[in-house]
Structure 1
Amino acid sequence: MKIKHYTFCLVSLFIASVYGQKPVPIKPRILISTDIGGTDPDDNQSMTHLLMYSDKFEIEGLISSPSYGNGSKQEIIRMIDLYEKDLPKLQKHQSGFASPDYLRSITKQGYHGNVSFIGYSKATEGSNWIVKCAQKKSSQPLWVLCWGGLEDLAQALHDAPDIQNKIKVYWIGGPNKKWSANSYAYIVANFPNLWFIENNSSYYGLFSPSDEPDNVLISNYYSKHIKDKSFLGKDFINYYKGEVKMGDTPSLLYMMDGDPNDPTRESWGCSFEKFNYSPRMVLDRTTTIKDTIAFCSIMELRFTVPKSKAKKESIGFWMEVPYGKTIQKWPGYYIGNDVYAIRYIPKKAEVLNYKLSSDIPEINGKTGALVATNLWPGKTSQKDYQLGNNWFTDKHDSNLYFGKIQGGKTISKWRDEILLDWSKRWEWLNE
């Protein structure tokens, strides 16, 4: 038996070396926080990927954390139901897949919507579950993989600060950071020594089109590999018409390839570099076109209105931002001492124009503009949040840009291998 096991390990190592994937030292403990069922269907695609690779992880929690939209834990359970129907086919080829009943038991509801300026609100089933899993006795850390907002993570850290030394976080930021500005600010301000990967752009390299030749084309991947011979496959066509855009999957790929304790390594789930500040612009006025910050940076505007009698953390005004043919509205809050404030985070390089609306005459009707540049984290300022030694983010090397995507080549280079590996599991389901 030992000889057979040794031979199997050699074969596994050979396969890994051929395809670029490296052995993982130990099966990682992971907890997923997702906004599945909200406005972006890519979480459903990533959930499909997770379930089909559940043998690779010790999954300890599936938290519905919809910072925007109507997502709920029922959508996670619906995905588990589909997985249960396909599970016998998967088990013919591989052991160790998670039990559907077990997955249902660890699926919890988190916070709906965004929290106010303070950055946290009240405990939820989801945030309590994060605390419970993090406090479990283990020689391994709990990896919290955040696919949406940070509201439940911020709440868990607020309620049990000791867990900061027991968890490691991989966050798909970018647009999620825009929706979760207040919770993000709370975490960086109060837990600078947290172990944290902030992936604001590199993940786009998994699915973004380019002029570079690909052996495995994203556009025809569904018809060629996924098809409709399985329950998960039939469901997949409902998201972007089957086109692969699973933006949260790099967090899973990171845990599947090599030593996750070293974010600077080459990895299927992107490669990162350390950074020691999170940029923040704080002004007591609206911005002008002369004001510039890096994308994914915090713009914080504060307005003093003498003799204010508002309730602390109540909404006092709205920032109206054009978005395509619609207008997005972002709340500003009364934070005390006659001051109203708002945090806004641009998700991409752009020229941002906005207008403030309010029942408060001193604020109502103000307009502003801002230039967001395409290099994160950009220039420093005295108002930046200072970070500890274990914060990592997208590499800034211009040679690693994938088109306009900072750090995108750290994952685009592995795209063929990633998708071919996944196609083998689809073959199991298409038998």
Structure 2
Amino acid sequence: MLRMNRNIISGMELVVMIAFLTLLSCNTAENERHKPRVLISSDIGGTDPDDFQSMIHLLMYADQFEIEGLVSSPFGDGSKKDFLDIIEHYESDYNQLLKHAPELPSPNSLRNITKQGEKNAAPFKGFATATEGSEWIIQCAKKESDQPLWVLVWGGIEDLAQALHDAPEIKDNIRVYWIGGPNKKWSINSYSYIAEHHPDLWMIEANATYRGWFMDEDSPKDVKGDAYYDNYIQGRGAMGKDFIKYYDGRIKMGDTPSLAYLVSGDPNDPMGESWGGSFEKIDHSSRNIFIDGSTVEDTVAAYGTIEWRFTGPELSVSEDSVVFELEVQNQIWPGYYLGEGMYGVKYSSKKPEKGTYKTRSAIAGLDGLEGGYVSTDPWPGKASPDDYQLGNNWYSDKLDPALFIKDQQGAKTISKHRREFLLDWAERWKWLEK
């Protein structure tokens, strides 16, 4: 009887031990699941050096994520080498950082997931041909996982548009946080393709909110953009030494809110509080189509799609051929032949503005056309028949005027957390003190 009791007790102990180990395993798996899967698409090395700052920030928080891809999607001279250069600085600091954050990924593992994406803006239709970067997005999105892949777009959205065109089924597996505004202006063709053909994408479109990361209004003095480097970065590691090269160390990092969104708050709730901002659902993306021109009497929504279409002679060239150009705000946009004597060009203002345009072309009827427009906030503005109709999971900058900083819609949803998120980063810079 005593032996039987001992056997029963041993059996019970075994059951308890198995249950404990199972619970431990489940908890471990739960923790792993809660580590967001992240792929970054960046125009690092392109037209704006702030991505170098954001990349340094990413690497210092890399233990918080499963980083699955670094895709170079620049306009201009940037390439994946710019990613690799920052990873080299990270490698110099790696052993020192590892003492405080043992889950940081190795430099070589990051090099292995760095890919080259599209270097040119998409044509009028919004996509072109697959790149190493767009194919990597597809591969990562199709990886078997019970967690979504967060695609954080820090620049042009061409590689994402190409991936969605080539493998639309990946929409079910990804969530996108895009720093729009100026990037939307340069990527308007790809953006229009996504909004028109993939409106059911889960998307945060931050056209102005992100500016709360670096706008100094109401900022405490010690974390103002021109003071932070001297107070918290200077003299700390190879990455600290590199940081001064961009904007003389002044904090910009306009893309970092996409990452900060995953660090605090509930990323499944874009309307909640987060270091990366708070957003609201939108059901349409503003678009205005003007046939044969517009004038300054025509008002459009800032960040909306302006599409000019001009009639002219029929040409024996392929559709989407560049046959004219449009100058607006001292910048040049390519104009395309759309077929059957119709020509088109798209543009998006990066802020409220009054603008004028002029065309140039070897085609007489398309040369020297002039016009204008006025873009106003808030985005996305009143609904119009030309708008792109969006699905149930498209979020953008909050409309409340009390959350604007100057004309930057929603920026206060980030700036209110400025001291908190910058001092959190300052604690990590301490790890690199000698």
Structure 1's consecutive aligned runs of 4 or more residues displaced over 4 angstroms after TM superposition are 211-215
Q: State yes or no: 1:89 paired with 2:96.
A: yes
Q: State yes or no: 1:54 paired with 2:54.
A: no
Residue 390 of structure 1 aligns with an amino acid whose one-letter code is: N
Tell me how far apart the structure 1 counterparts of residues 339 and 221 of structure 2 sit (CA, whole Å): 55
- Provide the identity percentage: 54
Deviation digits for residues 168-223 of structure 1, max 9, x if unmatched? 00000000000000000000111011100000001101101215555522211111
Tell me how far apart the structure 1 counterparts of residues 255 and 110 of structure 2 sit (CA, whole Å): 19
Indicate if the aligned counterparts of 2:117 and 2:131 stay in contact, CA closer than 8 A. yes
Q: How does 1:201-240 map to 2 (within 5 A)?
A: 201-211=208-218, 213-240=220-247
1:37 paired residue number: 45
Tell me how far apart the structure 1 counterparts of residues 380 and 158 of structure 2 sit (CA, whole Å): 22
2:17 paired residue number: none
Residue 84 of structure 2 aligns with an amino acid whose one-letter code is: I
Q: Aligned pair in 2 of structure 1 residues 312, 292: CA closer, same or farther (>3 Å)?
A: same
More deviation, 141-150/255-264? 255-264
More deviation, 27-36/220-229? 220-229
Tell me how far apart the structure 2 counterparts of residues 306 and 213 of structure 1 sit (CA, whole Å): 60
Deviation digits for residues 284-316 of structure 1, max 9, x if unmatched? 121101001111100001112133222211101
* Equivalent residue for 2:399, pick from 376, 391, 396: 396
| Number of residue equivalences | 404
* Equivalent residue for 1:272, pick from 279, 300, 318: 279
* Equivalent residue for 2:250, pick from 243, 247, 270: 243
TM, length-normalised to structure 1: 0.92
Tell me how far apart the structure 2 counterparts of residues 92 and 283 of structure 1 sit (CA, whole Å): 59
CA shift, 1:356, in A, is 0.5
Q: Aligned pair in 2 of structure 1 residues 24, 397: CA closer, same or farther (>3 Å)?
A: farther
Q: State yes or no: 1:421 paired with 2:424.
A: yes
Tell me how far apart the structure 2 counterparts of residues 240 and 108 of structure 1 sit (CA, whole Å): 26
Structure that is richer in helix per residue: 2
Tell me how far apart the structure 2 counterparts of residues 121 and 86 of structure 1 sit (CA, whole Å): 39
Unaligned runs of 5+ in 2: 1-30
TM, length-normalised to structure 2: 0.91
CA shift, 1:430, in A, is 2.0
2:354 paired residue number: 351
Deviation digits for residues 136-174 of structure 1, max 9, x if unmatched? 000011010000011000000111110011110000000
2:363 paired residue number: 360
* Equivalent residue for 1:179, pick from 175, 186, 190: 186
Q: State yes or no: 1:409 paired with 2:412.
A: yes
- RMSD (CA atoms): 1.3
Deviation digits for residues 65-97 of structure 1, max 9, x if unmatched? 01x211100010111011011011111112100
Tell me how far apart the structure 2 counterparts of residues 57 and 213 of structure 1 sit (CA, whole Å): 29
1:130 paired residue number: 137
Tell me how far apart the structure 1 counterparts of residues 278 and 326 of structure 2 sit (CA, whole Å): 35
Indicate if the aligned counterparts of 1:25 and 1:258 stay in contact, CA closer than 8 A. no
Deviation digits for residues 223-243 of structure 1, max 9, x if unmatched? 110003310011000000000
2:375 paired residue number: 372
* Equivalent residue for 2:338, pick from 321, 335, 338: 335
Tell me how far apart the structure 2 counterparts of residues 258 and 320 of structure 1 sit (CA, whole Å): 42
Deviation digits for residues 2-38 of structure 1, max 9, x if unmatched? xxxxxxxxxxxxxxxxxxxxx9981100000000001
2:312 paired residue number: 305
Residue 270 of structure 1 aligns with an amino acid whose one-letter code is: G
Task: Give the secondary structure class of the aligned counterpart of 2:366.
Answer: coil
